[in-house]
A and B are shown apart, each in its own frame.
Chain A
């Protein structure tokens, strides 16, 4: 059981380049989400989805796009990378189930540096 798989683990971009962080889960979870983790701060929600075809913005959505065409995959697109997007990105998924108490499973993270 792979759980939540993120690729790539490391990426270096130049300002203005675009890229996609991939996230896949094999647990048939309805909920998937993307967070960024910066030093000294809690994880901040970028975008999330409660099912295929349904996405919504989180706390820090600017500069990022998402789509959810299948239950398994939830890619995060950086349209025009900026140094402020240098961060560690985590994908997480969960059953929605009994309201609010589904366990959140995280991927191993993708470390992005924008020069």
Chain B
């Protein structure tokens, strides 16, 4: 069973609107959680990295939150743009298992004009 579950699988939003993506994980003991953006046909690109002590981190219009107690994270996209159309991947790693990242299947976001 995948230790990182993302929801929804896909969503369509209008340009200019906000959206929130969810990530639930069971990886333990927790070390850090990352969000990546993957454009079609390209490699993933890092958006944020959060450790246990961080509960919010922003990168421009992207804001990630982390609740290590409930093992949940969210990625909020503000004022979406057409260029935000991509797959967003949640990645979690365990303490003591550096190099063995657990990847979610991703949420496919389509921004329409």
Residues of A within 8 A of B (CB): 4, 31, 33, 35, 40-45, 48, 50, 56, 58-59, 90, 92, 96, 99-101, 103-109
Q: Does B105 sit at the interface, judged by CB under 8 A? A: yes
Q: In the bound complex, do residue A96 and residue B100 qualify as a contact, i.e. CB atoms below 8 Å apart?
A: no
Chain A: minimal CB distance from B34 (Å): 7
User: Which stretch of B11-19, B37-45, B62-70, B78-86 is in the interface?
Assistant: B37-45
Q: Which range holds the interface residue count of chain B?
A: 20 to 34
Decide yes or no: A42 and B100 within 8 Å by CB, A90-B43, A103-B46, A104-B34 being known contacts.
Answer: no
Chain A residues within 8 Å of B32, by CB:
100-101
7 other A-B residue contacts (CB within 8 Å) besides A42-B105, A90-B43: A40-B105, A42-B106, A45-B100, A92-B43, A100-B32, A104-B34, A106-B43
Q: Closest approach, in angstroms, between the C-beta of B62 and any C-beta of chain A?
A: 15
The closest CB in chain B to the CB of A108 belongs to B43
